[in-house]
Structure 1
Amino acid sequence: MTTQQPIRNDVVEEKYPADIKHIDSLEDARDTDSELKDNAVRPSHVDVDDGFDPKVMKRLVRKIDLHVIPILALMYCISLIDRTNLSMARAANNKAMNKELGLDVGNRYSLATMIFFIPYIILEIPSQIGLRAFGPKIWLSLSCLLWGVVMMCFGFLQNWQGLVGLRALLGAFESTLFPGAAYLIACWYPRKQMATRNTAFYFGSTAVGGLSSILAWGISQMHGTAGKSGWRWIFILEGIMTVFIGVLGFIFMHEFPDRAKFLTPEEKEIVRIRIDRDRGDATHDPLTLKKIGKYAIEVKPWIFGIMFTATTLSAYSMAYFLPTILQGMGFSNMLSQVLYAPPKIWAVVPGMFLAYWCDKTRQRAVGVMFNALLLVIGTIMFSQLENSKKEARYAGVFLAFGGATMNVPLIIAWTQTSIRSQSKRAFTAALLVAWGGIGGILAGVLFIEKEAKRGYPTGIWSTVALNILVIICAGGFKLWFMYQNRRADRGEIILEDHPGFRYQA
């Protein structure tokens, strides 16, 4: 955000009023689009789809949805399964993995969960440079294939040190996917569709991934097959699945809009016009060290990062420790694995509805604050209610898991709607996911193994406190963004280096 000479909004609005002329052809759209940019017309004065046949636009958006979202969701689904199946493998066959690898000594298990996030965080920003250099088809698909090979290697471990090493390698390869997917989705869609598409991508993966506990329990019944424990078969078979999905990526993954082969030249131009009308950054600008330094000193992405950390702390802690928490509620070993699935699946419908509402109304803060409140209430319910109220405690798990999983795509979408330029979009996506990795580290540090029998009080209350902070930050952002928009309307400042840009609060 920079301060420049006041903008003559009165002149702009006189030449291009709010009810701007209808566009009858793609050529007219190009001409009008150029005029809009030349005269600094605010995006609110023209809809991104103005002048295009609604039926044509509906078909085009559906075409993009079907080509872009499903393969990303499938890859992220297996990514979530592979990074979090450690808890399922550990719980399988009366914790045979603990005995064979010595994970019940000290904080070895917490170290194994935490180490994943060290390379995951460090490599986030470099991974975005590789994404642009090699393209999503090669970069993301090859990464998926390689971490699938690593996952199979888990099945042949002989000690806990090897587990820690493979978890670190897994984090290195998985670091490419989430920020890459967030960036790719942002390059395809205008801001009014970001929350729904990010939520569809994320929930498409978490809903199917929610069944991973049942899958892991089923695979663990192979205990003793070929002389291997059930937990080893979980890693081997799920690793094979990952390699297969990586191969599918080479077939079905698509490039950025300007390189997409499934679009006609006219359709590519429509995509470009929509993005330029929305925020004026359809043209790629490379991410350089100078730009990284410029973006890194802005406060806004870091606050979004702290909010994302609080959310992922909740998501990862339940992914890694929920089976143990459920056993503490009195559920059997088998039920603790099976009951892990429903809380991950239930939030799909309300989550998609909330994302649609946020896109439709452009009210970003309200959705984030609502989810954080759900998370706080649910966490207190499942951790503080008496053991005799087992059903109520399990209901709290639904609220907490729902609040966390619904907030992940909403915070990503809100971050992406609050910035301009493709290089900044790549940097911010990587920074945000890196902060999400810090949430994973905190889950491993704050949920202390020796506190397991007492319900992990340090981790629980840290989760509650950080998500109260999310509510405060989201409310603060809403007030600040509204204030800045009013200043921009008066011509006092230019937001995100573009006279027509306004925040969505």
Structure 2
Amino acid sequence: MSTILEKPEVSEVDEAQHPSQKDVVDHIDASYASFAHLDEKKILRKMDVRLIPMLALLYLLSFLDRGNIGNAKIEGLQEDLRMTDNEYNLCLTVFFFSYAAFEVPSNLLLKRLRPSRWLPIIMVAWGTVMTLMGIVQNFQGLVSARFFLGLAEAGLYPGCAYYLTMWYCRREIQLRQAMFFSAASIAGAFSGLLAFAIAKLDGLGGLEGWRWIFILEGLATVVVAFAAFFILHDFPETASFLTEEERAFVIFRLKYQGQMDSKDEGSIRVAQADEFEWKYVWDAFKDWQIWVNIFVYWGIVCPLYGISLFLPSIIRNLGYVSSTAQLLTVPIYVTAAILAVVVAYFSDRVGKRSPFVVTCMVAVVIGFILCISTGNPGVVYAGVFIATAGIYSSFAGNIAWLSNNLAGGYKRSAGMAIQIGVGNLGGAFASNFYRQRDAPRYILGHALELGFTGIGLIAAVILITNYIRINKTRARIVREGGHNQFTPEELSAMGDRAVTFRYVY
């Protein structure tokens, strides 16, 4: 069994005053004993095989479809549609406004509806929009298509990130987040290779090569969406690939994971409340840690979108032709994908988030400093290489960090959607960082990315400091028996604000 499933300490339970708490602990002990014969690692492997590959494919298509406009640009999109630099950047920006606005309602709908229905529906929607982008004739058509693309794609990433928390415990989540998020890195590499190949269709059917990029990639999304209707699983309660006993075990360990993963004296495990009430949504909007974490998120996502939208252009302006620039993005993204999974593995192993997130963000800082310091093509390429590796490794860690510290299904659903929704407004910022008139060195763009990462690091330090302070205060209260004034139901309703809850940092 993992450390999450260790038997809780009960030395501080006052049976005379709170027999109901003793009953809860006795029930947990009995339940752990009844599951002792199960192979937890085998169950996790079964979940990994059935869940992660499909989620990774969905996110690969999502990231491919939102970022391929950068590939289309260097194949002639801007010139053919007779757009100015400001108009092109507005097409990038408008995506993030609609994307941010729909993430919270989408996540609440995911919880209420079946993931195997909701996620494919929004995939069909954005795949259709992407396909139609291939026939736009002017700036107005492209900016409208990008707006609706953001609206349709909004629910995919926060939905997948939250979906994983309905299957995996806190100490297991970052590796799985990284495994499916690494699809974004692969999408970056795949996008370059695919754009390189599709651009050869230039003139086919009287259409330019960049139009075929949108059409073919959009159609691929629609095809996969129809397959997802039959392949995606909904919740552990209905997982056909698990036995009845395995389903009960998965549900049990999720139910009691949120309270006291540590071994503090007097710890008591309390099931997390999971009946929908609007107060859990409002609790998420009022939670200080979500809003501080958004600054950490901006410190990662601004460079993420800056790289994903402009990397082909940055490399091309180092003196390479378009086809070579497309291909030179591949090793950067492949390395970033591998490193993201490796970092996540060790983060889950030690049960810490902040040391890995902060270290990777420091790598982003180093990368952009290299980009600013010289115009040497080799050094600039090394800089974006290092920065991209740090970005993708820290992104999954930051998502897992917040999800670890939100207790209760609906609060976690809303909180993660707020983090990702408001945080993705950083994409609106980043889409205007790299101006064509700043080529070939793009010093302003690199400097702005560097500044946002610096702000993110400061926010990370604020989070760490407060988490440590709150954990120490709660541990002292528990040692003094302060938790005994609450019933298990009251502690459950408090979620991550309960004195028995410990923040991960």
Q: Tell me whether the two structures share a fold, i.e. TM-score over 0.5.
A: yes
Does structure 1 residue 433 correspond to structure 2 residue 423? Answer: no
In structure 2, the partner of 1:197 is 176
Does the CA-based 8 Å contact 2:298-2:456 persist in structure 1?
Answer: no
Identity score, percent: 29
Deviations 1:230-250 (A, max 9, x none): 001111111111011111210
| Residue number among 302, 307, 326 corresponding to 1:318 in the alignment | 307
Does structure 1 residue 77 correspond to structure 2 residue 63? Answer: no
| Residue number among 54, 75, 82 corresponding to 1:102 in the alignment | 82
Distance in 2 separating the partners of 1:212 and 1:169: 21
Does structure 1 residue 467 correspond to structure 2 residue 467? Answer: no
CA gap of 1:231–1:499, structure 2 versus 1, over 3 A, is: same
| Residue number among 370, 375, 395 corresponding to 1:381 in the alignment | 370
Deviations 1:289-345 (A, max 9, x none): x43223212211011111112211101111111122112222222211111121111
Does the CA-based 8 Å contact 1:40-1:499 persist in structure 2?
Answer: no
Instruction: Kindly report which structure 2 residues correspond to 1:336-375, keeping only aligned pairs within 5 A, or say none.
Output: 336-375=325-364
CA gap of 1:219–1:445, structure 2 versus 1, over 3 A, is: same
Amino acid at match of 1:181: C
Does the CA-based 8 Å contact 1:306-1:435 persist in structure 2?
Answer: no
Amino acid at match of 1:57: E
In structure 1, the partner of 2:145 is 166
Does structure 1 residue 487 correspond to structure 2 residue 466? Answer: no
**How big is the shift at 1:74?**
0.5
TM-score by length of 1: 0.87
Distance in 2 separating the partners of 1:50 and 1:58: 17
**How big is the shift at 1:281?**
5.4
Does structure 1 residue 496 correspond to structure 2 residue 501? Answer: no
TM-score by length of 2: 0.87
Instruction: Kindly report which structure 2 residues correspond to 1:78-477, keeping only aligned pairs within 5 A, or say none.
Output: 78-92=61-75, 95=76, 97-103=77-83, 105-279=84-258, 284-286=274-276, 288=278, 290-387=279-376, 390-453=377-440, 455-477=441-463
Distance in 1 separating the partners of 2:163 and 2:339: 25
Structure 1 stretches of 4+ moved >6 Å? 34-37, 48-51, 492-495
Distance in 2 separating the partners of 1:400 and 1:36: 51
* Alignment RMSD: 2.4
Distance in 1 separating the partners of 2:189 and 2:129: 22
Q: Secondary structure at the match of 2:496?
A: coil
Q: Secondary structure at the match of 1:263?
A: coil
CA gap of 1:398–1:52, structure 2 versus 1, over 3 A, is: farther
> Which 10-residue stretch deviates more, 331-340 or 225-234?
331-340
Q: Secondary structure at the match of 1:211?
A: helix
Does the CA-based 8 Å contact 2:63-2:187 persist in structure 1?
Answer: no
Deviations 1:190-224 (A, max 9, x none): 10101111111111342254221111110000101
Does the CA-based 8 Å contact 2:82-2:138 persist in structure 1?
Answer: yes
Q: Secondary structure at the match of 2:242?
A: coil
Q: Secondary structure at the match of 1:102?
A: coil
Q: Across the two proteins, how many residue pairs are aligned to each other?
A: 467
Distance in 2 separating the partners of 1:142 and 1:245: 11
**How big is the shift at 1:35?**
6.8
CA gap of 1:99–1:174, structure 2 versus 1, over 3 A, is: same
Distance in 1 separating the partners of 2:417 and 2:165: 13
Deviations 1:246-268 (A, max 9, x none): 11210111102223333332122
**How big is the shift at 1:171?**
0.5
Distance in 1 separating the partners of 2:391 and 2:120: 27
Structure 1 stretches lacking a partner, 5+ long: 1-8, 16-33
**How big is the shift at 1:487?**
1.2
Distance in 2 separating the partners of 1:106 and 1:229: 20
In structure 1, the partner of 2:486 is none
> Which 10-residue stretch deviates more, 248-257 or 278-287?
278-287
CA gap of 1:155–1:52, structure 2 versus 1, over 3 A, is: same
In structure 2, the partner of 1:31 is none
In structure 2, the partner of 1:57 is 40
Structure 2 stretches lacking a partner, 5+ long: 1-8, 259-269, 484-494
Does the CA-based 8 Å contact 2:256-2:272 persist in structure 1?
Answer: no
Distance in 2 separating the partners of 1:112 and 1:202: 25
Amino acid at match of 1:12: E
Deviations 1:263-291 (A, max 9, x none): 33212210111112311556632252x43
Q: Secondary structure at the match of 2:477?
A: coil
Amino acid at match of 1:384: S
